[in-house]
Amino acid sequence: MEQNRTISADVCAAERDGAAEYEAVIGLEVHVELKTGRKIFCSCRPKFGDEPNTAVCPVCLGMPGALPVLSDEAVSLAVRAGLALGCTINRVSWFDRKNYYYPDLPKGYQITQLERPVCVGGAVPIETRAGKREIPLLRIHMEEDAGKLIHRGDETLIDYNRAGVPLIEIVSEPELRTPEEAKAYLNSLRRILSYAGVSDCRMNEGSLRCDVNVSVRPRGSSEYGIKCEIKNVNSVNYVGRALEEEIARQTALLRAGEEVEAQTRRFNEDTGKTEKMRVKEAFIDYRYFTEPNLPAVELTDEWMRDVKDAMPPLPDEAARTLTERFGVKGENAALLTSSVFVTEYFTACAEACGSDAERAAMENLFVGELLEGIDPDAVGAVVPVSPSALAGAAGLFAEGKIVSGNAKKLVRLLAEAEDGTLTREDAVLFAERENLLKLADPDALMPFVRDAVAASPRAVADYGRGKTAALKQILGQVMRATGGRADPILAEKMILGTVEDLNEK
Ligand code: ADP
Ligand code: MG
Ligand code: ZN
């Protein structure tokens, strides 16, 4: 009896803490578009949103006899990615043909790197509630993108503008364990690569795409379970949700004593569920062979030096700069270096500030009121509030002319009205017009004080009998009547004066 109770208590505990029995193993394959502006083997220059099939030529359309010429810039950016992630760079690498037929692949093969990729090893640093970790990488290889199929009713159209766009594929070891870690990995990767100038990393425009591999195993097991691959998930949040779903599905199967089938799945954004696309065949023969139309990629010492010299400051260095120049510390320094755009915007705001106190107030307003609404990858976007207007709002707070809640409200109003040209003076005008400034002028305050005193005969009498605390009640009324804007010290002094006058009469 006693025995039974113990066991069922354990089972209940395990049920409550679903993570206890099983753990997930996750590996991500991330495709990143290199920011070269042109295709990898021809000089077509596609832009997002172009008319279909306008950025194409005989090479990227796979016309017989057209020969590929490798873009130097694509190689430089791939090497740059490798250096930024601490990879070993293969000084000699080469391209292979992956042969398969699909209508988005005009040549009937994809040029990629299998046997000798440009980079191996390296790691992506992540930070979660559990602390800091390094997620090791298997490899980074260069390849060309395929075209895009557009399904419309029961017909399918093809746009070859993306065919031949330069990509790197970054493959992690299966070392991620939770959806939270997978999301942190993607954000960290995005941050580093956008800083390094390797890619815009805009998931909504397809310049960063992610295949999610996941299996589940009994916790403590050293073997991997059978994995499923969720193809082409296109936002960090979707990666998190797809993983939650898929881990729950696989865990339920294992609990029920069933096996997980190796599948290729997709995430349905409308239902939030993952769906089976096909069973993963044990082995697909792509008939790989070395691409005969391209020489091996040989990186000279000079080339390596040039790539290193051209490397922009990476996020950790940028965070140190924010600390040194503007006193930004700890978590804020990391938040404010989430992308080059955020860092540049914050830097402009800090430069617009006239004192340390103003800068500190600006930092709080920036992190508290603006940061969440900023798309970190909005390269060249209009800022929500111009640096001088934000500095103006911060200045009002630093000088004690506005209470914190109203300073935030002012920033929100400026953000709504922003046309990119508002000045420091405009911020003050806005605050005046919207009645957000502290009432620190005796003439402006007097009517409120008089009304509150007149409405409180009891408190006035109490004060006359020596109960000084009675004044606080009147002050409370003044604060309420002014929407919290009254300067409390001045108001209290004026109440005292008014009440004493009354009691003397
Ligand atoms: P495949 O040959 O099926 O494409 P790879 O060995 O190329 O598999 O690995 C692809 C990705 O899947 C890598 O990111 C790797 O970390 C991950 N991966 C490999 N095995 C597992 C597993 N059992 N569970 C989860 N992820 C895995
Ligand atoms: Mg693979
Ligand atoms: Zn072309």
Q: Is any atom of ligand 1 closer than 6 Å to the C-beta of 171?
A: yes
pLDDT of residue 421: 83
pLDDT of residue 456: 92
Q: Is any atom of ligand 1 closer than 6 Å to the C-beta of 213?
A: yes
pLDDT beyond 50 at 175: yes
pLDDT of residue 10: 44
pLDDT of residue 375: 76
Atom of ligand 1 nearest to the CA of 229: 12
- Ligand 3 centre to CA of 82 (Å) is 26
- Write the secondary structure of 332-376 as one string of H (helix), E (strand) and C (coil): HHHHCCCCHHHHHHHHHHHHCCCCHHHHHHHHHHHHHHHHHHCCC
Q: How confident is the model at residue 373 (pLDDT cuts 50, 70, 90)?
A: confident
Q: How confident is the model at residue 377 (pLDDT cuts 50, 70, 90)?
A: low
For the chain, the 3-state helix, strand and coil shares in percent, each to the nearest 5, are 45, 20, 35
- Write the pLDDT tens digit of every residue in 4-34: 444 444 444 444 444 579 999 999 999 999 9
The DSSP secondary-structure symbol of 407 reads H
- Write the pLDDT tens digit of every residue in 85-130: 999 999 999 999 999 999 999 999 999 999 999 999 999 999 999 9
pLDDT beyond 90 at 43: yes
Radius of gyration over every alpha carbon of the chain, rounded to an integer in angstroms: 31
Atom of ligand 1 nearest to the CA of 214: 25
Q: Is any atom of ligand 1 closer than 6 Å to the C-beta of 102?
A: no
Q: Is any atom of ligand 1 closer than 6 Å to the C-beta of 173?
A: yes
- This prediction has a pTM of 0.82
Tell me what the mean pLDDT of segment 147-161 comes to.
Answer: 95
Tell me what the mean pLDDT of segment 477-486 comes to.
Answer: 89
pLDDT of residue 381: 66
Q: Identity (one letter) of the amino acid at 237?
A: N
The count of C-alpha atoms lying within 13 angstroms of the C-alpha of 499, restricted to the half-sphere facing its C-beta, is 30
Percent of the chain with pLDDT over 90: 79
Give the C-alpha distances (Å, rounded to integers) separating 156 from 101, 151, 152, 264. Answer: 16, 4, 6, 22
Tokens coding 257: 């004593």
- Write the pLDDT tens digit of every residue in 330-369: 889 999 998 888 999 999 999 999 999 999 999 999 999 9
- Write the pLDDT tens digit of every residue in 191-217: 999 999 999 888 888 889 999 999 999
* 188 sits in which H/E element: helix 179-195
Q: Choose between 468 and 36: higher pLDDT.
A: 36
pLDDT beyond 90 at 160: yes
- What is the DSSP pairing of strand 119-120 with strand 88-89? antiparallel
d(CA 162, CA 366) in angstroms, rounded, equals 37
Tell me what the mean pLDDT of segment 234-250 comes to.
Answer: 95
pLDDT beyond 80 at 51: yes
pLDDT of residue 144: 98
Atom of ligand 1 nearest to the CA of 175: 16
